[in-house]
Amino acid sequence: MKLKKTAIDLIALARVCHVSTVDRAGTPHSVPVSPVGGGERIFFASGKGAKKVRNLRRNRKVAVVFDDYTEAWSARRGVMIQGEAKILERGPIFNKIRRLLYEKFPQYAKELPVEEGKAVIVEVTPRRSFSWGL
């Protein structure tokens, strides 16, 4: 699916977004993550055993929300992406995305290293999107 340029720009600049998954019982789980990407794919890192990762191993469907809040409500904007997740545990794409995460978020390297075997990178492929204010 092709996203509007304004949505791609919002996603690319985002420092945080919210990822929603569902567990085995169908209970929603939503958490903030620090993303990279913006076009055809969105990526974020996570601990290998995190609940969102366990949920995605059972059900690849995911929703990701990017938004800019402002007190001037007429200027609020955002996009919700519904898509499918793929879990990357190692390899060239894992290494490339880790480098991008470290460039955008220098804190990662020292505070939450994205290491093979301990962390995963989640790749989200958008299937549908809904936007507001864009």
pLDDT band at 110 (very low <50, low <70, confident <90, very high): confident
SS3 5: helix
Q: Are 44 and 34 in contact (CB under 8 A)?
A: yes
Query: What one-letter code names the amino acid at 131?
Result: S
| pLDDT (tens digit per residue) in 81-107 | 999 999 999 999 999 999 999 999 999
Q: What is the mean pLDDT of the chain?
A: 94
Query: What's the fold here for domain 5-132?
Result: Pnp Oxidase; Chain A (2.30.110)
For residue range 65-77, list pLDDT tens digits in order: 999 888 988 889 9
Domain ranges of the chain: 5-132
pLDDT classification of 1: cutoffs 50, 70, 90 = confident
Q: pTM score, two decimals?
A: 0.93
SS3 10: helix
Residues 19/44, Cβ–Cβ less than 8 Å: yes
- Closest residue by Cα to residue 84 from 39, 21, 12: 21
